[in-house]
Amino acid sequence: MIARVARLWVAAVALTATAQAAGPEILVTVGEVTDSTAIVWARGRSAGRIDVAYRADGGGGERTASIDASPARDLTGKVALTGLSPGSRYRYRLTQDGARVEGTFVTAPRPSDAAPVRLVWSGDLGSRTQCRHVTDGYPIFRALARVPADFFVFLGDTVYGDHPCGGPDRVPGYDFIATTVPEYRAKHRYNREDAGVQAYFRSLSVYAIWDDHEVKNDFSGPSERLMPIGREAFIDYFPIVPPVEEPGRLYRKFRWGRLVELFILDTRQYRSPNSERDGPAKTMLGAAQKQWLIDSVTSSTATWKLVVSSVSLSVPTGGRNHDSWSNANALGFPEDNGTGFAVERDAILRALREGGVKNLVVLAADVHHAEVIRHHPTPWWSFHEMIAGPLSASFGRPRPLDMELVPKSLFALGGVENFGALSVDESGLTVRVVDMVGTERYSLRIQPER
C-alpha cells in the first residue's frame, strides 16, 4: 500500500511538472500603456497569425487586430492598439488554431485628470535554486493577484540567463547558462509559461526593464559581448517597441494622469565598466539618457515623479567593483577613488534639486530585500527611495546605506520574497511592502509637497 501511494505521488508530481512545463498554448502580455495606446505581445502555439479582439467596458463595439507569430523570434510577435479611450478598462481575446486566451487591462487617465493610480513593483525571478517549483510554480504571483493594481513594474532580473537551476522539485528547462539568442529566449519562455505568471499578466499591464541577469551578473554595457544578444531576447519577450531610429533603446516615460509620471531607466547598456574609478567621465546612463532624465523630470507637471532604477542609489553592491550608484563601503562610508557611479548620481540629483523638483520617488530592486528610505542630501531637499524584491531568488539582507545621501531607513525587510505597492490619490501617496503570502509588512503615507 505504501509503495502504491508513493508511485501515485511520483506520477502526480510528474504530471504537474509536465503541465507546468507545457504552460498555456498562447502566452500574452500587454504593456507600454498610455491614455490611448497599448502594445499586445503574444507567443503563439504555431507560426502564423494570432487574431486579437478587444473592446472597452461600457461602450463601443469590438475591434480587431492581428499578430504575426514569427518563427524567427520564437513564435512571438506584437501589435499596437491605438485610439483607445483614456481611463478605461479593456477586455481582449486572442485566438489561434482553436486555442483561446482572454485578459484585461486599463488605460492611463488623461494628463489633466487627477484619477487615483495603483501600481505594484518587484524584480528578481528565477535565480539558482529558485526557479519554478513543480507544484507551486512561482507562488508570489498568487499574492500579487490579490492586490488591486493598474499596472505592474517588472523591475529587472526578469530572468537569470547566467544561472542554471534544476532538480527533481523544479520544472525542467532552466538548467543551463544562456549564451545564444535562442537560449536567452528559452529562459524568458520558461518564466512566462508559469501558470501564476500568466494568470497575473492577463489581469493588468506590465512595464518591464532589464538589469544584469538578463545577460550576465554585473555586466557593463558596451564592454560585454553578450549584451546585444540578451537585449534582443529581452525585447522579443516583452511588449516593448523601441523607436525605429534607436532599435535597442529601453529608457522611456509614461504619464498616468495628473498625479503620476513614470521614468524608466536603462542602467545597463550605456554604462562604463564597473572597474573604472568614479569621476566626471564615468557614466551609468550615457550622456543622452542622463540629459533626457534631467529634462523630463524637471519639466514634468505630474504631482509624483517616479524614477525606475534597476540598481539602488544608496545600497552598496558589487564588492570592489561597485555595481550600484553608490561609492560607499560596507559600513556606508563613501570611499575616495571608489568604483561606483556616485559622481553622475549626485550631478543628476543636484540638477533635479536646482530645477525645483518635488515629490521625487525612486523605485528599485536588485538587492533582494525590501526597504523604504528617506534621503535628505541637503537641509532643504529630500526624496524617497523604495526597494522591493525578490520575487523568487536568493535572499539579501539590509545593510548600511550610503551616508553621502544622508539616508534614514524607515523600514527594511530581508529573508522573504516580497513586492511593493503604491496607491496615489490627490491627498498623497501610500507605499506598502507585502510578502509572498500576501501579508502587509509595512505601510507609509506621504503627503505631497506643494
DSSP annotation string for 365-414: -SSSSEEEEEEEEETTEEEEEEE---SBS---------GGG-EEEEEEE-
State pLDDT tens for residues 160-174.
999 999 999 999 999
Q: Which residue from 166, 134, 168, 191 is spatially nearest to 391, judged by alpha carbons?
A: 191
- 125 & 145 share domain: yes
**Which of 55, 82, 105 is a domain's end point?**
105
- 188 & 79 share domain: no
CATH number of residue 147's parent domain: 3.60.21.70
In the prediction, which pLDDT does 15 show? 35
State pLDDT tens for residues 289-299.
999 999 999 99
On whether residue 349 sits in a domain, the answer given is yes
- 207 & 93 share domain: no
On whether residue 14 sits in a domain, the answer given is no
CATH number of residue 90's parent domain: 2.60.40.10
**Which of 61, 82, 105 is a domain's end point?**
105
The total domain count for the chain is 2
- 177 & 290 share domain: yes
On whether residue 15 sits in a domain, the answer given is no
- Give the integer Cα–Cα distance in Å for 51 and 93: 8
- 163 & 273 share domain: yes
In tens digits, the chain (450 residues) has pLDDT values of 334 333 333 333 333 344 444 445 899 999 999 999 999 999 999 999 999 999 999 878 999 999 999 999 999 999 999 999 999 999 999 999 999 999 999 999 999 999 999 999 999 999 999 999 999 999 999 999 999 999 999 999 999 999 999 999 999 999 999 999 999 999 999 999 999 999 999 999 999 999 999 999 999 999 999 999 999 999 999 999 999 999 999 999 999 999 999 999 999 999 999 999 999 999 999 999 999 999 999 999 999 999 999 999 999 999 889 999 999 999 999 988 899 999 999 999 999 999 999 999 999 999 999 999 999 999 999 999 999 999 999 999 999 999 999 999 999 999 999 999 999 999 999 999 999 999 999 999 999 998
- 384 & 412 share domain: yes
- 382 & 416 share domain: yes
- 301 & 321 share domain: yes
On whether residue 6 sits in a domain, the answer given is no
- 197 & 272 share domain: yes
Chain-centroid distance of CA 280 in Å reads 29
On whether residue 13 sits in a domain, the answer given is no
Residue linked to cell 513543480: 134
Long-range pairs for 19-23: beta carbons < 8 A, 24 or more residues apart:
19/195, 20/132, 20/134, 20/137, 20/171, 20/193, 20/194, 20/195, 21/171, 21/172, 21/173, 21/193, 22/193, 23/192, 23/193, 23/194, 23/195, 23/198
On whether residue 10 sits in a domain, the answer given is no
In the prediction, which pLDDT does 60 show? 80
On whether residue 5 sits in a domain, the answer given is no
pTM above 0.85, yes or no: yes
**Which of 74, 105, 136 is a domain's end point?**
105
In the prediction, which pLDDT does 160 show? 98
Residue-range definition of the domain harbouring residue 341:
109-446
Torsion of Cα atoms, 376 then 211 then 213 then 136, to 10°? 80
- 179 & 82 share domain: no
On whether residue 9 sits in a domain, the answer given is no
- 77 & 118 share domain: no
- 178 & 65 share domain: no
Which residues, in sequence order, are CB contacts of 162 under 8 Å at separation 6+? 177, 178, 213, 215, 216, 217
Chain-centroid distance of CA 430 in Å reads 20
